Amino acid sequence: MGPFKAVFKIIEDNNCPLYRLEERLILSEKALAFPKDKEGCLILVREMTQLLFELLDETEQGDTDEKNPRVFTCSGCTGLIKFVRIDPDADDFTFPEVSSLTAEQHELIARISDFSVMKAIPRNQLVQFVGCLRERSIPAGASLIKKGEVNEHLYIILSGEMSVEDDRVKITTLREGDVCGEMSYFGNKIAKSSVRATREAKVLSLSGDDFGRLMGKAESVQLFMVQLLAERLFHANTVRAREFDACMHGTIKDMVPAELFQIFHMHQKTGALSLELSRGKAKVVFREGCIINACYADQFNQDAIFSILAEKDGMYRFTAGLSPQEMKAAEIGDFMMLLMEGVKRVDEGKGPDGSLP
């Protein structure tokens, strides 16, 4: 018989300050290994040491019951966990039924059962999901998420009111049952917008790791998030376009040329974009989102576009409307091909003609 080794999987997390659902603990005759990058709980160390002697005795006597795994519970501190022993070589493990819900969990489930995100969660994962949630209070005026900063949580608004903002542009208002933080999760964990409490609010937070495991197991949750993302992106783009129409001027530092061009193309704008750049004035003319002519310094059309895309500072202003002659002009090239080629040249440090400096 080889060295003793027992692997445990956490099946219930009731406000444990250290460990989360599905994380694993590994117990051997000489050591206890905790989940990666997690501190060791001294209470758990003491209890697992006692458990080790029990398991060694069971192993010698052959008393283990693999069909009905025993559920272990730590004695708890500010929270507690439940865990079961699993096959060390198993890729996955099916949660046993957990029927014991705390009074707080029963109350929370009843309160949020009508939330759209809750309706997407399978019933057999509801207990585990609720066990992952952490409640937070956000004072009026305080930020929950800040644009440009790392955000590793998904949030469900429990009460109050939150405002989603992109710099000075208000994107939407979130209220009870709404979700936020999903853009950070599906991106690089960098928040694309800020979320601020306009009234004192309470939120339920879910870590990105816990949410990722839930997504991996439930197609209904994946579908919910895809639909939510599509709706959010459409709404955000519509609001930004409306704001852009109201004040079509600004600085290149706030919105680089590639972003400007994409907005005009996406919303099929017709008019002239005038720019003050490092080498003088530039002009790009759009007809229903397509570029029909461009000039910058002594360059024209495609070469001018490639040079404008390389600029990082300056001012811009858009004026709607074109002359009858301009409305009949041909496009200077496929918009996406122009944009991709221009961005590629900027990344490679090439000039408008494709040559290296």
Contact in structure between 163 and 196 (CB atoms under 8 Å): yes
Query: Could you give the C-alpha distances from 184 to 191, 198, 221, 244, 351, in angstroms and in order?
Result: 5, 21, 17, 24, 35
Q: CA nearest 13: which of 2, 21, 24?
A: 21
Residues of the chain with pLDDT under 50: 91-99, 356-357
For residue 244, what pLDDT is reported? 60
For residue 250, what pLDDT is reported? 82
Q: CA nearest 47: which of 86, 14, 2, 80?
A: 80
The segment(s) of the chain belonging to CATH 2.60.120.10 are 103-241
Distance CA 67, CA 56 (A): 19
For residue 143, what pLDDT is reported? 94
Superfamily of segment(s) 103-241: Jelly Rolls (2.60.120.10)
Token pair for residue 105?
């969990």
Distance CA 165, CA 194 (A): 5
For residue 100, what pLDDT is reported? 52
Token pair for residue 210?
């816990």
DSSP string, 226-271: HHHHHHHHHHHHHHHHHHHHH--EEETTTS-HHHHHHHHHHTT--E
For residue 36, what pLDDT is reported? 80
Contact in structure between 294 and 301 (CB atoms under 8 Å): yes
Q: Which residues contact 275 (CB under 8 A, 6 or more apart)?
A: 252, 257, 281, 282, 283, 284, 296, 308, 311, 314, 315, 316, 317
Distance CA 181, CA 187 (A): 10
Angle between helix 335-348 and helix 257-266 axes, rounded to 10 deg: 170
pLDDT in tens, 114-132: 898 888 888 777 777 887 8
Task: Point out which residues pair with 82 in neighbouring strands.
Answer: 12, 73
For residue 280, what pLDDT is reported? 93
